[in-house]
Amino acid sequence: MPFPHDPAGRHHAIADIFTDRVRGVSDWDAPAPVDGWVARDVVRHLVEWFPAFLKGGTGITLPHGPTVDEDPVGAWTSHADAVQALLDDPETATNVLSNPHTGDVPLPQAVDQFYTGDVFMHTWDLARATGQPDRLDAEFANQMFSGMEQFDEMLRSSGQYGPRVPVPESADITDKLMGFVGRDPSWTPPT
C-alpha cells in the first residue's frame, strides 16, 4: 500500500515503520552503516537535529522525552509523537519555517521535505545495523531517488551525504537510493 501523500499521513506511516525497527533493537551498541555510529546514534541523530531546526525556523519547541542514552525507545516514540501532533494540529498548518538555506517553507511541507525523508532513509541504517528487514518502500524510494538525483552536485557539496557508492544497474531501488546517499548497500555489521 503506498504511503499517503499528505505530510501528516506520510510522517505517520514512515515513523511507524521506524518505530517497529526501534522496538526490534536488541543491541543499541551494534555498529551502524554510518561511520562512527552505533544503532543508538541513528535514533540520536533524528531526535536531536530536528527539534533545533524546527525551533530555529519557527520558534516552536517540541516537548522533551527521555534522552537517547537513558531510553532510546522512549526518546524516539516521544519525539515521533510530538512531530505527529504538530502535523495533526490545524493551528500549525499555516505556520512557516524560515531558514537562510531553504527560505520560507510552509511548516507541513518543511517537515515532509527535510525531516520525514530523513527518517525514511535512516530506517535502512537502523535495520541494517540490527539485522532487521531493511528494504524500503519502493514507490517512495523511487520518488526520493529521482528527486535527489537531479540535484546530485548540490546535495553532495552540502556535506550531508558521502561520496556516491556505485551499485549495479540491476540493483533494487533501496540499494540505488542508499548508494546515492553514500551508504554501501553491501555493508553488514562486523562480526
Digit-coded pLDDT (tens) for 2-15? 899 999 999 999 99
Residue 109 cell numbers, joined: 511541507
Give residue-wise pLDDT tens across range 133-151: 999 999 999 999 998 888 8
- Name the CATH architecture for the domain at 7-180: Up-down Bundle (1.20)
How far is residue 96 from each of residues 91, 103, 107, 110, 115, measured CA to CA in Å? Answer: 12, 10, 5, 8, 15
Number of other residues whose CB lies within 10 A of the CB of residue 114 = 19
Q: How far, in Å, CA of 161 to CA of 136, rounded?
A: 18
Residue 2 cell numbers, joined: 503506498
Residue 127 cell numbers, joined: 535495520
Residue 161 has pLDDT above 90, yes or no: no
- What pLDDT is recorded for position 18? 98
**Over residues 103-127, mean pLDDT:** 96
The percentage of residues in the chain with a pLDDT greater than 70, rounded to a whole number, is 98
**Mean of per-residue pLDDT scores for the chain:** 94
- What pLDDT is recorded for position 178? 96
- What pLDDT is recorded for position 157? 72
Residue 85 has pLDDT above 80, yes or no: yes
